[in-house]
Amino acid sequence: MKIIQATGQTCNQFWIYSHYFAESLASGDKIMILAPDIALKDYPNLTKQRFLKYPFYNKLGVSVLSYKRYVRILNLVFANKITIRIFTYLFKLIPKVSFVEGHMEAFTSSKKSKYKKELKKIFKPTDVVVDFVDKFIKEKRGLFQVIVGVHIRRGDYQTWHNGKYFYTDEEYNKIIGQLKILFPNKRVGFLICSNEKIYLENFNNKDVFFFKNSSAAIDLYGLGLCDYVVGPPSSYSAWASYYGNIPLYFLKDINNRISLDQFFIDEFPWPPLNIDKK
């Protein structure tokens, strides 16, 4: 049995866990996660797997403390550096049980491609999310022949890599203009998703739209239903590409002239150490 605590935000954790899950699907070995990610409630199949257990996550704790508070407490207790250091040493003394602090690129499973269908089921969002997004995209399919998902990453990207991948709405406008030219004689729509408020009036294109009353799960699933995904290097847009099996383009250089041959579909388009190879 492996006790795994992945690091990073939601999609970093999805990437990390997916490799270990693929191994467990092949071997039947059990996995235990002590501190779940805050997005757990949006992905109910994660709590329904025979090989996967969350020993400290339960309905009683949620009802007493509220979901967000309970998950945050579990992460404060089990995902802090001191606890991880103790567990790393302690579980070396216990036979047949190993503790892993999961980092991006620390472990890559060769079985991930084989079990992609099963992994997609495990990481499927709630029916509410799926039904809402499916209906929305279906309506847009009636208007557009091609839909490009544009992931506008803000927030922490203002400082990550010294803001190298933090772009303005004006710069995204130029990117959208470039992308439109790639599909001559076709009606092209653009689904914009962001971790900050979107102001449509900042975009000059009438074919730009977004999810009202959105969430991270809605945006992520929606991007995966587009025909193409564009965004700064991020595990979020990379996961959408992986989940939807759609071509991805990383905005590494905002001044680069985009062409369709620069998009790629890759089983492992993340973590970020690989982005300069694309």
* Per-residue pLDDT at 92: 83
- Dihedral sign for Cα atoms in the order 209, 215, 119, 6: positive
Q: Which CATH class is domain 127-277?
A: alpha beta
Which tokens belong to 2?
A: 């492996």
Rounded to the nearest 5°, which phi and psi values hold at 49? -90, 135
Alpha carbon 125 to its chain centroid, in Å, reads 12
* Per-residue pLDDT at 270: 56
Rounded to the nearest 5°, which phi and psi values hold at 128? -60, -45
Give the 3-state secondary structure of residue 147. Answer: strand
Q: Are 243 and 158 in contact (CB under 8 A)?
A: no
Read off the DSSP letter of residue 48: S
pTM of the model: 0.91
268 pLDDT band, cuts 50/70/90, is low
pLDDT digits (tens, 9 = 90+) for 44-87: 999 999 999 999 999 999 999 999 999 999 999 999 999 999 98
Considering only residues 201 and 23, tell me which one the structure prediction assigns the higher pLDDT.
Answer: 23
Region 256-278 average pLDDT: 69
**How many C-beta atoms lie closer than 10 Å to residue 210's C-beta?**
18
- HEC string of 201-231 equals HHCCCCCEECCCCCCHHHHHHHHCCCCEEEE
Confidence check: pLDDT of 267 > 70 = no
- Dihedral sign for Cα atoms in the order 34, 36, 41, 47: negative
Q: Are 268 and 108 in contact (CB under 8 A)?
A: yes
Q: List the end-to-end C-alpha distance of the chain, in Å, as a whole number.
A: 36
**Extents of the domains making up the chain:** 2-122, 127-277
Which tokens belong to 247?
A: 């071509």
* Per-residue pLDDT at 88: 87
Q: How far apart are CA 26 and CA 35, in angstroms?
A: 24
Q: Are 79 and 5 in contact (CB under 8 A)?
A: yes
pLDDT digits (tens, 9 = 90+) for 101-145: 888 777 888 898 899 999 999 999 999 999 999 999 999 999 999
